[in-house]
Structure 1
Amino acid sequence: MPRLILQLPGEICTNTDSGEHLLLAPEDDTELQSVAAWLGTHPVAEFYTDAIRNSIDYVLDGGKTGRFDLLSPEVHPGERASVGAKLEYEVLRTFQLPKTKPLDTHIADAPVDIKATVGANWAIPTEAHCQLCICTQIQLKNNRHRSWLVRAHRSWLYRGKGNKDQKRGLAVHARDHWSMPLYDWTDLPINPLRYLTEEQAAEVLAKRPGQVQRMLKMFHYLEGHIIPRNVFLTVGAGKQDPMRRARQLRDKAAEQGLTVLCGTWTESRDQATARGIALRTGEWIALRENAEEINQEAEAQSG
């Protein structure tokens, strides 16, 4: 990264597009404060966690490819980088924000650009220079993410090396000292298939035997792990209606000593809650417990 001599808040930022203006610290930037206040009425970390997970699932496209790990050699670096582009639309959908131009959206009547990186810095396009940006950093190896709200003053951006569209990275000092953290490092849910050994994954994702038998193996290997819907689509990649196969599992799993619960069903949610497990719609879990005892407890609760 080229050396950058940073100007301080209160000094003049020279922007060839919008002219000279003051470099603003977050506490002096009324638009930034308004956007931060609006975001503060939402569970930002939780929303971003869901949006990032959906973006990763979209890029992996496990239901067609059988892939479940973004760091796998099977995933092209360009696909990993595209998570940020998909995240923009997931954030708009999750926060119910409009898609606007020239930036990505408006929050509290202020234009805002939504940026994300799976690396160390962001590519700030010329239209977002000196504008408000939500900058998200995703660390895939550490399964975590964090975000800042920052005005990407041109004077705080590195010059893009060989970048024809003049995109620039944000200086680390500016990010650390003249931005507003929206939330600290937050865990990203790990795709349960990543807990499998190489041999187990090969069995679960094989073309033979059928889906039901392979899903049963998955439940045995991932006993006690919450398994989201997307995992079943991955295991049934290229097959018809894998979720229907998943719903056929309960009786067969019970024969093998496993109780299968699904958050879509009220009865299952009650049984999971009795064990301190929060299951959301579409989430599954297999427990090696006595099914009769679980049903008795659920009936006692409902009674």
Structure 2
Amino acid sequence: MPPKKIVDLGVACQPDFRKALASQKHVLVDPARDDKLQRVYAWLTANERDLAKHLVLAADAAIKYVLDGARTRRLDLNDPRVDKDERASVGTKLQYHVLEELKLDKVAPLDTIIENIPVELKSTVRKNWYIPVEGQCQVTMLIQLDLDEWEVSAWLMRTHRVLLNDGANQDKKRTISKANFNKYALQLIPPTPLGPEPLKTLSKLDSQVIFGKKGIKTRIAHLLSVLPNVILPRTSIALVGGTADDVMKRAREAKSSVAEDHGYLTLVGSWLPQQKALRELGFDPIGEPWVSISPEYLRKKTGPPMNLGLAPKKKSDKDFLALVNKLPVDVRNQWIKRFPDLR
């Protein structure tokens, strides 16, 4: 079938018949004059939302869900044990994780609602998206995972029927004409590198310890000690713990031994004071990562004293102060000099 040509503005468009949504005939309008499209675009691209980082985190979660590393110990989609269907399923899983990351509900008649506007959400690990009948002529968020380049990209487009290719699959889904995608899709984020999986950087010996038969606390403590000053996604910490129910509890206990034995203070992006410390030391706290900070790294990150806004009666801050007190005296003093309210 020859490629579809660019469709001009003002051309009549009629979606395929569908039961759940009306199928009124309408004309193709300029995306810049499509009020609903522009409102959704403005919401998604608001500076404070930081869409790229949320999509990277959603992609990381989707990939790890498919790899099921806690059970299979697979860390890479290129692992020969990952079959073709599993790789393809990452796109489907990604949609749910995007909703979770953006704190959007799954709402009929499409996938969600943004600014009181129904929005279709489609993701793919291929070069195109399959638009269902109910998604025709709707505001659609299009996400692409390039697993070879290890990047995520996203666009927003009203997927008019006249902009879709004529051939349909057995589910009556149609792909988007490449020429019309290039003309009418609004880019939400450019190709953005996905986060690395730090567990893949482990030496063979360290990997044997971390994925060995010792207790979860011991294995996570070893991880924090051999990968200091590295962002460890929460999902990576959970992966080390395997299928146990109390992984994060054991991980929190591991921080104490790392402080006592190595002088490393582990910061967790779940709490505001620790988020502030992470930013000050050059780490992005989005996604609630774990970072064990070595004394050598702290010395290099010079700066004026800064209070973190700790509330000693708050349990998370009380526990953090107790962790600081487990550091060797010289290291503890170094932290207090940098962040006085750790005293």
Q: TM-score range by the shorter chain?
A: 0.7 to 0.9
Instruction: State the partner residue of 2:50.
Output: 43
Residue 34 (structure 2) pairs with residue 29 (structure 1): yes
Which of 157, 179, 182 is the aligned partner of 1:176? Answer: 182
Residue 282 (structure 2) pairs with residue 276 (structure 1): yes
SS at match of 1:24: coil
Alignment partners' CA distance in 1, 2:118 and 2:177: 21
Aligned partners of 2:61 and 2:235 also within 8 Å: no
Alignment partners' CA distance in 2, 1:245 and 1:32: 46
Instruction: State the partner residue of 1:144.
Output: 151
Aligned partners of 1:259 and 1:287 also within 8 Å: yes
Alignment partners' CA distance in 2, 1:96 and 1:269: 20
What is the percentage of aligned positions where both structures have the same residue?
32
Q: 1:272 to 1:181 in 2, by over 3 A?
A: closer
Alignment partners' CA distance in 1, 2:84 and 2:253: 38
User: Mean Cα displacement is larger for which, 273-282 or 98-107?
Assistant: 273-282
Residue 6 (structure 2) pairs with residue 6 (structure 1): yes
Alignment partners' CA distance in 1, 2:256 and 2:24: 70
1:224-282 alpha-carbon deviations (Å, 9 max, x no partner): 21112222221221345333333343454356545141315788667656643454685
Aligned partners of 1:267 and 1:298 also within 8 Å: no
1:137-164 alpha-carbon deviations (Å, 9 max, x no partner): 1122333211111011222212446x21
Instruction: State the partner residue of 1:234.
Output: 239
SS at match of 2:231: coil
SS at match of 1:141: coil
Aligned pairs for 1:113-262 within 5 A: 113-160=120-167, 163-197=169-203, 200-206=206-212, 208-239=213-244, 241-254=246-259, 257=262, 259-262=264-267
Alignment partners' CA distance in 1, 2:111 and 2:178: 23
Q: CA RMSD in A?
A: 3.0
Query: Displacement of 1:124 after TM fit?
Result: 0.6
Alignment partners' CA distance in 2, 1:27 and 1:131: 15
AA in 2 matched with 1:85: T
AA in 2 matched with 1:54: A
SS at match of 2:175: coil
TM-score normalised by L of structure 1? 0.83
Which of 278, 286, 291 is the aligned partner of 2:292? Answer: 286
Instruction: State the partner residue of 2:104.
Output: 97
Q: 5+ unaligned residues in a row in structure 1: which ranges?
A: none
AA in 2 matched with 1:201: S
Aligned partners of 2:71 and 2:243 also within 8 Å: yes
SS at match of 2:228: coil
AA in 1 matched with 2:141: I
Identify the structure with bigger relative contact order (alpha carbons < 8 Å, sequence gap 6+): 1
Which of 113, 137, 148 is the aligned partner of 1:106? Answer: 113
Alignment partners' CA distance in 2, 1:30 and 1:274: 40
Instruction: State the partner residue of 1:15.
Output: 15
Q: 5+ unaligned residues in a row in structure 2: which ranges?
A: 18-22, 297-326
Number of corresponding residues: 301
Alignment partners' CA distance in 1, 2:287 and 2:44: 26
